[in-house]
Amino acid sequence: MQNRKLGRSGLEVSALGFGAMGLSFGLGPAADRQEAIALLRAAVDHGVTFFDTAEAYGPFTNEELVGEALAPLRDRVVIATKFGFALDPTTGATVGVNSQPRHIREVVEASLKRLRTDTVDLLYQHRVDPKVPIEDVAGTVKQLIQEGKVRYYGLSEAGAATIRRAHAVHPVAAVQNQYSLWTREPEAEVLPVCEELGIGFVPWGPLGTGFLTGKIDANTRFDSSDLRSTFPRFTPEAMKANLAFVEMLRGFAARKNATPAQIALAWLLAQKSWVVPIPGINKLEHLKENIASVELVLTRDDLREIDAAASNIEVKGARLSEGLLDLSER
């Protein structure tokens, strides 16, 4: 496994991270706990050092899982978690956003206990809170860093202007927005500002939340506990239309003796040296498949060909349901 530096922050991680959310939440029923722990530890054995979780995943259960799995390996890994959602105290359901300074501190203290650690390596604001100036948020995280409870500061689903304002208060180490071959909005403003300011970029959903693997088709149906059941891009009609995208990847992969997932990840890794994708992984064979993408070299001609082919395919459906889009800075 190769390593990459997240911009000029000094934070070095494996070139491919591990998005842990789906082991507990959001992509159907939770995985068997002992199997999930074994998979997380196997990822470390395969060179993965960067693990992504959040209090909202479960809620809480994903942090507990990651904490239990990685506690014996703590000195070998970088753990990222997030604050920023308002959770119903009774049901745990997300009911909005909350980045009030006091709430940030409460979330961090609880996350540290669940993660079985003294320090969060990378703390993201999960979603921007329009009611709290980003300067107050950055200032609070800066204090937590000074206190040794957090090492690095990040933003998720943030726009360029917010990134600039936050970075002026305390350096932002990483921005985590959705980005893949079929979700390219960050290229307009966010990636350029990250490059200018020396900020790493962490694409979530790098495999199109599973669609770009080629293992989903128009007949696939999602459990009600799977967030994709609400995404416009994952209706049967949209998936049928979007299969053209997968066929393009599949044809290119055949020429490279690779899989569509490996091409999609290699394409992301080729965009910038400070881009670190965090695919969701729930099986050992998927872990090995994804890791192999780090060694897959795409030439400039390859990248031009992929971009040209992708530009001729219209992706049908919004990337998220309207409610989730409303929580992102679009």
Decide if pLDDT at 41 tops 70. yes
Q: Tokens 């956003």 sit at which residue?
A: 97
* Residues paired with residue 96 on neighbouring β-strands, in sequence order: 86
* Mean pLDDT confidence for 50-74: 97
Q: For residue 22, how many other CB atoms are within 10 A of its CB?
A: 22
- Confirm whether 57 is a catalytic residue: yes
- Across all residues in the chain, what is the average pLDDT? 96
Where is average pLDDT lowest: 133-147, 186-200, 225-239?
225-239
Helix (H, G, I), strand (E, B) or coil at 106: helix
Q: d(Cα 207, Cα 262) in Å, to the nearest integer?
A: 9
Where is average pLDDT lowest: 60-64, 84-88, 265-269, 318-322?
318-322
Rama region for 205: left / alpha / beta (φ>0; ψ in -120 to 50; rest): left
Q: d(Cα 123, Cα 52) in Å, to the nearest integer?
A: 10
Q: What percent of the chain lies above the pLDDT cut of 90?
A: 93
Domains of the chain: 3-325 (3.20.20.100)
* Mean pLDDT confidence for 141-160: 98
Between the two ends of the chain, the Cα-to-Cα distance in Å is: 34
So what's the pLDDT on residue 324? 78
Residue type present at position 229: S
* Mean pLDDT confidence for 137-156: 98
Decide if pLDDT at 330 tops 70. no
User: Which residues touch 16 (CB under 8 Å, ≥6 apart)?
Assistant: 1, 48, 50, 265, 269, 276, 277, 278, 279, 290, 291, 293, 294
The larger pLDDT score, comparing residue 140 to residue 324, is at 140
Q: d(Cα 183, Cα 145) in Å, to the nearest integer?
A: 33
* Mean pLDDT confidence for 248-267: 97
Q: What percent of the chain lies above the pLDDT cut of 70?
A: 99
The larger pLDDT score, comparing residue 89 to residue 270, is at 270
CB-side neighbour CA atoms (13 Å) of 226: 15
Q: For residue 188, how many other CB atoms are within 10 A of its CB?
A: 9
So what's the pLDDT on residue 321? 81
| Burial group, residue 301, by CB count within 10 angstroms (0-12, 13-18, 19+) | exposed
Residue 60 DSSP symbol: T
Q: d(Cα 128, Cα 137) in Å, to the nearest integer?
A: 9
pTM of this structure: 0.96
So what's the pLDDT on residue 281? 95
Residue 280 DSSP symbol: B
From the candidates 57, 124, 153, 179, which is the catalytic residue?
Answer: 57
